[in-house]
């Protein structure tokens, strides 16, 4: 009985994770500029991948494998914002800001980003 | 629906959705327009591929696939960090060339 | 956590990842943990007290909730038919009141994974954090949101 509930819950997590991954991919194609795309990839992408890993943890019925999946999930949540931040920082210094459609850009008005890499 | 049937159906649907997501993110890699966009799409693609491999681990019951998924996530992170540094150093080099 | 505790925890995580809790494997994990602690000993902070651990747990709970909310919000924005009207992107300078490297790193990572915000850069004197907002309302509202939510929690964990 408990195993059946775990399997159904794992299925729901798996489908949710796949759905968020799909939404992240659609967002990366549909959104208008690099930073808004980054929102889609870093949030929806991390949640999508993370939910699939949690589904693996729930469906494997093995403590060692489940722990590994959960550690993978934590690892994913730790690394995704770091890579998104690095990429945002690198792109801000290289791309032409005229093509970015922003209401306010205080990074530019306050003398631009610091030049040290 | 028995649990086993539900599991097989759910993994099939998830594989189709993740495969579709992979194809859609390839569109962004092709149309660009900047290197940053392509790197972002590649990063997302490795995360989706990780989910794909994880789903295969559930479907086949072979938990060795989970190790591949985690290694893929690690590789994607390192690749994105390396690309970000490359974008920065390329910009610095261009600035140095300009008079 | 003192260094010995860190090594033990790292050894346990190693055993969990590799999937075998045998003595030899734990020793190998401890050896790798010692190398990691030696390499990073300058960056490890002073020992944590129990109260801080509880604050860290409450921060983690808040974070998981905000992460789920942010993913749903991004999904709604992506699936809106007329996306242009739902978007008001902006970069805002957020005045930092936390000062140490560790606090700023933690806060920037938390901001990236919460609804509608993404940290882009830190100013050279570490007084400003540049935040990209997906759906910009008012500057004061956004700043009050971060300062009252995550920044206060981060300061509790490190105080």
Calpha distance A23→A31 (Å, rounded) = 11
Higher pLDDT among residues A116 and C91, named by residue = C91
- The answer to whether residue C92 sits within a structural domain is yes
Sign of the C-alpha dihedral computed for residues A108, A114, A115 and A117 taken in this order: negative
> Residue B33, exposed/middle/buried by CB under 10 A (0-12, 13-18, 19+)?
exposed
* pLDDT on residue C44: 60
CB pairs under 8 A between A and B: 184
Tell me, yes or no, whether C27 and C94 share the same domain. no
Q: Quick one: tokens of B55? A: 């789903």
* pLDDT on residue C60: 82
Residues 19 through 58 of chain B touching chain A, CB cutoff 8 Å? 20-22, 24-25, 27-28, 34, 36-37, 39-41, 43-44, 47-48, 50-51, 54-55, 57-58
Determine contact, residues C79/A40, Cβ cutoff 8 Å.
Answer: no
Tell me, yes or no, whether C132 and C90 share the same domain. yes
Tell me, yes or no, whether C86 and C146 share the same domain. yes
Q: Which domain holds residue C27?
A: 3-40
φ and ψ at A62, to 5 degrees? -150, 125
Q: How far is CA A116 from the centre of its chain?
A: 27
Q: Which residue of B has its CA nearest to A76?
A: B73
Q: What is the mean pLDDT of residues B36-56?
A: 90
- The answer to whether residue C45 sits within a structural domain is no
Calpha distance C62→C76 (Å, rounded) = 21
* pLDDT on residue A22: 92
Q: Is the preceding peptide bond at C69 cis, omega within 30 degrees of 0?
A: no
Tell me, yes or no, whether C87 and C27 share the same domain. no
Cα C71 to Cα A85, A116, B13, B52, C10, distances in angstroms: 17, 33, 21, 19, 31
- The answer to whether residue C116 sits within a structural domain is yes
Distance from CA of C142 to the nearest CA of A (A): 13
Tell me, yes or no, whether C79 and C36 share the same domain. no
Tell me, yes or no, whether C88 and C116 share the same domain. yes
Query: How would residue C49 be classed by pLDDT, with cut points 50, 70 and 90?
Result: low
Per-range mean pLDDT, top range of B25-39, C49-63, C108-122: B25-39
Tell me, yes or no, whether C114 and C143 share the same domain. yes
* pLDDT on residue A113: 45
Average pLDDT, chain A: 79
Which residues are C133's β-sheet partners? C90, C117
Tell me, yes or no, whether C54 and C89 share the same domain. yes
* pLDDT on residue A100: 57
Position A96 pLDDT exceeds 60: no
Distance from CA of A17 to the nearest CA of B (A): 8
Tell me, yes or no, whether C29 and C84 share the same domain. no
Calpha distance C25→C23 (Å, rounded) = 5
Number of domains in chain C: 2
Give residues with Cβ within 8 angstroms of C99, minimum separation 6: C126
* Predicted model pTM: 0.81
Tell me, yes or no, whether C90 and C151 share the same domain. yes
**Which of C12, C20, C70, C91 should one mutate to test binding to chain A, selecting the residue with the greatest count of A CBs within 10 A?**
C91
**pLDDT tens profile A8-63:** 888 898 999 999 999 999 888 888 888 888 888 888 888 899 999 999 888 887 77
- The answer to whether residue C17 sits within a structural domain is yes
Determine contact, residues C94/C143, Cβ cutoff 8 Å.
Answer: yes
Q: Which residue of A has its CA nearest to C117?
A: A39
ipTM over 0.90: no
Position A81 pLDDT exceeds 90: no
Query: How would residue A116 be classed by pLDDT, with cut points 50, 70 and 90?
Result: very low
Calpha distance C107→C46 (Å, rounded) = 19
- The answer to whether residue C84 sits within a structural domain is yes
- The answer to whether residue C143 sits within a structural domain is yes
Tell me, yes or no, whether C34 and C81 share the same domain. no
Helices (H), chain C: 3-18, 23-40, 50-79, 83-86, 101-112, 139-146, 152-158
- The answer to whether residue C64 sits within a structural domain is yes
Q: Which residues of C touch A100 (CB under 8 A)?
A: 89
Tell me, yes or no, whether C28 and C91 share the same domain. no
Q: Which of B28-42, C40-54, C135-149 has the lowest mean pLDDT?
A: C40-54
- The answer to whether residue C24 sits within a structural domain is yes
Q: At what angle do helices B64-97 and A45-59 cross, to 10 degrees?
A: 160
Position B82 pLDDT exceeds 50: yes
């Amino acid at each position: 009985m408990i195993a059946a509930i775990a399997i159904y819950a794992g299925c729901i997590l798996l489908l949710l994770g796949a759905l968020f991954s799909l939404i992240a991919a659609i967002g990366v194609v549909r959104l208008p500029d690099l930073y808004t795309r980054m929102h889609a990839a870093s949030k929806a992408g991390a949640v999508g991948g993370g939910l699939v890993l949690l589904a693996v943890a729930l469906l494997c019925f093995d403590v060692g494998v489940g722990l590994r999946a959960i550690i993978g999930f934590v690892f994913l949540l730790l690394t995704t914002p770091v890579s998104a931040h690095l990429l945002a920082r690198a792109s801000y210094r290289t791309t032409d800001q005229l093509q970015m459609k922003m209401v306010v850009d205080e990074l530019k008005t306050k003398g631009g980003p610091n030049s040290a890499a | 629906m028995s649990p086993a049937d539900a599991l097989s159906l759910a993994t099939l649907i998830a594989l189709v959705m993740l495969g579709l997501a992979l194809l859609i993110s390839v569109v962004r890699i092709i149309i660009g327009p900047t290197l940053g966009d392509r790197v972002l799409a590649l990063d997302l693609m490795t995360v989706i591929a990780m989910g794909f491999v994880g789903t295969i681990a559930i479907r086949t019951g072979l938990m060795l696939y989970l190790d591949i998924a985690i290694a893929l996530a690690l590789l994607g992170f390192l690749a994105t960090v390396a690309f970000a540094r490359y974008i920065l150093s390329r910009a610095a080099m261009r600035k140095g060339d300009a008079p | 956590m003192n260094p010995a505790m860190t090594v033990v925890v790292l050894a346990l995580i190693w055993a969990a990842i590799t999937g075998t809790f045998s003595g030899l494997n734990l020793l190998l994990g401890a050896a790798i943990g010692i190398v990691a602690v030696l390499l990073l000993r300058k960056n490890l902070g002073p020992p944590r007290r129990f109260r801080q651990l509880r604050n860290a747990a409450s921060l983690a709970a808040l974070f998981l909730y905000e992460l789920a909310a942010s993913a749903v919000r991004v999904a709604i924005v992506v699936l809106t038919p007329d996306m242009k009207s739902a978007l008001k992107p902006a970069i805002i300078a957020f005045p930092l009141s936390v000062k140490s490297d560790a606090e700023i790193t933690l806060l920037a990572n938390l901001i990236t994974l919460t609804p509608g915000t993404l940290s882009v850069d830190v100013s050279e004197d570490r007084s400003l954090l540049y935040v990209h907002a997906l759906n910009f309302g008012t500057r004061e509202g956004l700043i009050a949101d971060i300062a009252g939510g995550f920044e206060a929690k981060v300061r509790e964990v490190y105080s």
